[in-house]
Structure 1
């Protein structure tokens, strides 16, 4: 099972406050553990929302909204993509994570990623083949 592990933003991360050398070292060690265990598929930190944009869809209309975005609690500061056997295993790995914002409050959300088989009969054999072909192309680029 794949899980998106989402690090929620804080006022400091949105203000561009960078982590300390100590936290970067701890996170590096944690990431090494994840990779050695075969858990980490990918991940990274995100720039503040002031450097981003959103595209809002309404029917055929597309509206671009430039950052920053007001609701910090809805923003993401970073992420990992985990491959584990269960949600509980992903939770256990996250519990080992250093606090992403050192001494302050922080929250990490864990969400299971849909797999092809989760979509049922609407995901036709042709769509499954396309999905597999795209995954192979992505893997070849890495």
Structure 2
């Protein structure tokens, strides 16, 4: 089963502030554990929304509207993600619970979402 662990953005990540060396070390160790267990498919951090582009579709079958960042509500933004290949929902939750606070300022928030898979992938 594939799960995306979505790391939500915060004011600090949107400001482009890098994590402390202590948090970087903890995240490196966490990533190494994911790799060693064979569950990490991919993990990436994202640039702040100030470098982002958003397309919205206000009319059915109409042309998309392009808006350049930054985007205002950091609670709705993504700072990074992990793609995990696990045996169960419970295992995905267990791995998410082991992650250090991804923002390091008590602002961290992680969302787990199962990825749709085609029958031949299951």
TM-score over 0.5 (shorter chain): yes
Question: Greater Rg, structure 1 or structure 2?
Answer: 1
Matches within 5 A, 1:36-51: 36-51=36-51
Where does structure 1 lack aligned partners over 5 or more consecutive residues? 118-127, 133-142
Provide the TM-score with structure 2 as the length reference: 0.92
Could you state the TM-score of these two structures normalised by the residue count of structure 1? 0.79
Offset at residue 103 of structure 1 (A): 3.5
Separation (CA, whole Å) in 2 of partners of 1:18 and 1:43: 16
C-alpha deviation, 1:60, in angstroms: 3.2
Match of 1:12 in 2: 12
Q: Which residue of structure 1 lines up, in the alignment, with residue 74 of structure 2?
A: 72
The structure, 1 or 2, with the larger RCO (C-alpha pairs under 8 Å, 6+ apart) is 2
Residue by residue over 1:18-75, the C-alpha shift from the partner in whole angstroms, topping out at 9 and shown as x without a partner, is 1111111111110000001011000111110000101112313121110000111100
For structure 2, the 5+ residue unaligned runs are none
Matched position secondary structure for 1:70: coil
